[in-house]
Each structure stands twice: as C-alpha cells, then as structure tokens.
C-alpha cells in the first residue's frame, strides 16, 4: 500500500469525512487502490456514482442490522465485517472493480488485497493522525 492514500478509495470518502478524528472508521481512508495507470477509470462518471450508491445502501443496511445510527457508532469488529462484505459484493461494486483492475499499478492496490492490508489496523485503535 502506498504511504499516502492515492488512487481510488474503495470505501468512498464521502461517508468518512465527518467521522471524528479518533474514530476507528478513519482507518478506512487508507483503503485505496494506490497509483493508477489510467486515471480515467476513476472519473466520477455514472458507474462510479452507482458504485457509491451501492456502498451507501450497504452501509445503511449494515447499520440497520447492527442497530446503529451512524458509521461512527460501529465497533472495529463491525467495520471489519462491513469491509469484508464490500470485497464480496456483486452488482455495481463488482462491475466498477472490474473496470479498475487493469489500471491498478501495484498488486496490493487490488480491492481485496488492500483490504487485507489495512484490516489489522482495526485490531487496536489507530493513533490520531
């Protein structure tokens, strides 16, 4: 994973930007593809917007299932479960990922590989950036 988040954020930033600095969920900001060979695959076009919409629906369903109101209310274990669900999702998430795959420069930028790399950060509270 790149030292500074770059490329596509697998967990859309729009859902994380209002989290408190000490929230474990901020670790998800590091879940990125890394540099892209072709940046046009990450343009905020119709498919990208549909990807974000499916993620939003997943978050809402997950929060409802967990009896939580907001992402900031999730435990680290619940965040891991949500991320695991995203890496296995079909639909637009899978379609967008397939479009992204050829443009990902480093193998660890792959959606599942990048997730496995940051998931251990949810084992203990991350330091405040």
* Residue where the block lists tokens 């978050």: 59
Q: What is the pLDDT of residues 33-62, one digit of tens each?
A: 988 999 999 999 999 999 999 999 999 999
pLDDT tens per residue across span 100-121: 999 988 877 888 888 988 888 8
Residue 117's pLDDT is 87
Indicate left, alpha or beta for 80 from its phi (over 0: left) and psi (-120 to 50: alpha): alpha
Q: Where are the domains of the chain?
A: 43-120
């Amino acid at each position: 994973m790149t030292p500074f988040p770059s490329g596509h954020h697998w967990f859309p930033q729009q859902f994380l930007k209002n989290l408190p600095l000490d929230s474990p969920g901020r670790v998800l900001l590091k879940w990125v593809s890394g540099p892209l060979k072709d940046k046009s695959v990450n343009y905020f076009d119709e498919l990208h917007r549909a990807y974000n919409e499916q993620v939003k629906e997943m978050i809402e369903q997950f929060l409802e299932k967990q009896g939580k109101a907001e992402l900031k209310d999730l435990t680290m274990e619940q965040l891991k479960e949500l991320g695991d669900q995203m890496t296995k999702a079909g639909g637009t998430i899978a379609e967008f990922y397939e479009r992204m795959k050829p443009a990902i420069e480093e193998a660890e930028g792959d959606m599942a590989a990048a997730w496995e790399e940051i998931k251990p950060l949810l084992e203990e509270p991350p330091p405040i950036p």
